[in-house]
Amino acid sequence: MKTLYAALIGIVVLLMVAHLALAGPPSWDDQINNPSRFEVLGEFGDAAVLDKETGLVWAQSLSTDTLTWFDAQARCINLLVGAGVSSARGGWRLPTVQELKSLVDPAGIGGPGPVLPPGHPFDDVQSDDYWTATTSALFTDRAWTVTFFNGVAIFAPKTSTANFWCVRGGQGVDPQ
């Protein structure tokens, strides 16, 4: 009887673990080319957006401040987003170059900009350069930026100024 009981518990545990493995994060192979790709999160006081294609959470309303790479890093690290002080959440950072490029809509390139997917819910996105956390492998005093006018990624001196867009989740990189 004990063997049967142990086997049943083992099967239940196996089914629970298998369910969690199957429900993992979204695959970067998945493409959602419609407004349902984004969900404004009420848990963050409607100030954050879940990208269902990548599983990342983005700040909904962007600052129009342009900062150095170092100051943009600090601004994201210290950011609290939420409906109130008790429900605000930290854990924000600059995105990697790949994460930020995931918001570029190739079909929008050549238009008036910014080049974002149709139906996106973001406010104050500029058709300009945005910092990423990714340092250039060739020049460590430079970091990659993504230009939301044409979707191009280039690197710039970390002491120059650019826009920034904070993200939560994913893997990120340790800034250098």
pLDDT of 110-138, one tens digit each? 666 788 988 899 999 999 999 999 999 99
Average pLDDT for the chain: 82
Report whether pLDDT(60) > 50. Answer: yes
Q: Which amino acid is at 159?
A: T
The DSSP annotation for 104-138 comes to --GGGTTSSS----TT---BS--SSEEEEEEEPSS
Q: What's the pLDDT at 138?
A: 94
pLDDT of 85-96, one tens digit each? 566 889 999 999
pLDDT band with cut points at 50, 70 and 90 for residue 16: very low
Residue from 68, 56, 46, 64 nearest 121 by CA = 46
d(CA 16, CA 74): 40
H or E stretch at 75: helix 69-77
pLDDT band with cut points at 50, 70 and 90 for residue 31: low
What are the structural domain ranges in the chain? 33-168
- For residues 30-59, average pLDDT: 88
d(CA 155, CA 143): 5
pTM of the model: 0.79
pLDDT band with cut points at 50, 70 and 90 for residue 67: very high
Level-2 CATH architecture, domain 33-168: Roll (3.10)
Report whether pLDDT(157) > 70. Answer: yes
Q: What's the pLDDT at 97?
A: 96
Residue that is written with structure tokens 């629970």 in the block: 16
45, two tokens: 């006081």
